């Protein structure tokens, strides 16, 4: 078994210009497939509310759901960095609430890092968690827990104010001690500029190839969930099975071939 990927590993990968590969998983079986392919990070995303539980959004997902799926993934993984999502309303109330929830994800869910949505407003919470030994991944842009506020799943940061808010948010999260930031569904040029302004890695999903790494929802890249978003690719096309599709994804991200221009927003 090769050594576990840690927050230090991904920091070094950014510095060396090595692309960071990440996919979601929600159970031990798929975690093992991703791990054996050599993926750098597995995200136990609250997207499980949609692709596993069949809800219309991520909002109904509970902390117990996240702990359960995170624990399942942990049983199947020996190598990848495990990042678990803090679900809707498990951290927005106060830093103390976020600490209790993050603690549960790490103790019961065996996650190595927690992810939370939001920019500048969440910076004090990130600082509170990091000071208490919890590695945090930020998530800005199209933050799915805010779908009703956005009026749908819409690309963010297209106007000057929105772009500025995202830049300020990214810097505030870094300043607060976040170890990584997911950039979701934002214009490619904005993602490039945010990535260049940070010392911590950015992981893009619909944010273009200049991010330090890429993440996709597993069901999207296997072509087995609803209408695929513009930013994804069905990696089963032309491959001979799930392991081969995951290998193809890793290879495409590492070489910079994915995402291509048709997966990006202006």
Residue of minimal Cβ distance to ligand KIV: 45
CB 114 within 8 A of CB 102: yes
End-to-end, the C-alpha distance of the chain in Å comes to 42
Element (H, E) at 137: strand 136-141
CB of 53 to ligand KIV, least distance (A): 12
184 is catalytic: yes
Partners of 150 in the beta sheet?
none
Give me the catalytic one of 184, 196, 257, 262: 184
> Which lies closer to ligand KIV via its Cβ, residue 24 or residue 77?
24
CB of 51 to ligand KIV, least distance (A): 8
Residue tagged 């990130």 (tokens): 126
What lies within 8 Å, CB to CB, of 119 at 6+ separation is 138, 140, 165, 166, 168, 169, 170, 172, 173
> Which lies closer to ligand KIV via its Cβ, residue 104 or residue 114?
114
Report the interface residues with ligand KIV, using CB under 6 A: 24, 43, 45-47, 85, 139, 182, 184, 205, 215, 217
How far apart CA 177 and CA 159 sit, in angstroms, is 28
> Which lies closer to ligand KIV via its Cβ, residue 121 or residue 131?
121
CB of 49 to ligand KIV, least distance (A): 8
Distance of CA 163 to the CA centre of its chain: 20
CB of 151 to ligand KIV, least distance (A): 19
> Which lies closer to ligand KIV via its Cβ, residue 176 or residue 215?
215
Q: Which residues are catalytic?
A: 184
């Amino acid at each position: 078994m090769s050594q576990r990927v840690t927050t230090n590993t991904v920091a070094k990968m950014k510095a060396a210009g090595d692309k960071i590969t990440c996919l979601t998983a929600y159970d031990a079986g798929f975690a093992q497939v991703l791990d054996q392919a050599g993926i750098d990070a597995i995200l136990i995303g609250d997207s499980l509310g949609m692709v596993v539980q069949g809800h219309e959004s991520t909002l109904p997902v509970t902390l117990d759901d996240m702990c359960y799926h995170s624990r399942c993934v942990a049983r199947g993984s020996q190598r990848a960095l495990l990042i678990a999502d803090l679900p809707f309303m498990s951290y927005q109330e106060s830093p103390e609430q976020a600490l209790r929830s993050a603690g549960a994800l790490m103790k019961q869910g065996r996650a190595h890092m927690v992810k939370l949505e939001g920019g500048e407003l969440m910076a004090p919470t990130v600082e509170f968690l990091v000071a208490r030994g919890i590695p945090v991944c930020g998530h800005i842009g199209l933050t799915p827990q805010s779908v009703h506020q956005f009026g749908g799943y819409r690309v963010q940061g297209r106007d000057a104010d929105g772009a500025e808010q995202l830049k300020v948010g990214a810097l505030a999260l870094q300043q607060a001690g976040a170890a990584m930031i997911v950039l979701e569904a934002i214009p490619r040029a904005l993602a490039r500029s945010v990535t260049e302004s940070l010392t911590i890695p950015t992981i893009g999903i619909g944010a273009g190839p200049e991010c330090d790494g890429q993440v996709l929802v597993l069901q999207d890249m296997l072509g087995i969930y609803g209408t695929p978003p513009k930013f994804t690719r069905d990696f089963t096309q032309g491959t001979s099975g799930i392991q081969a599709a995951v290998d193809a994804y890793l290879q495409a991200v590492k070489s910079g071939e994915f995402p291509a221009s048709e997966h990006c927003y202006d």
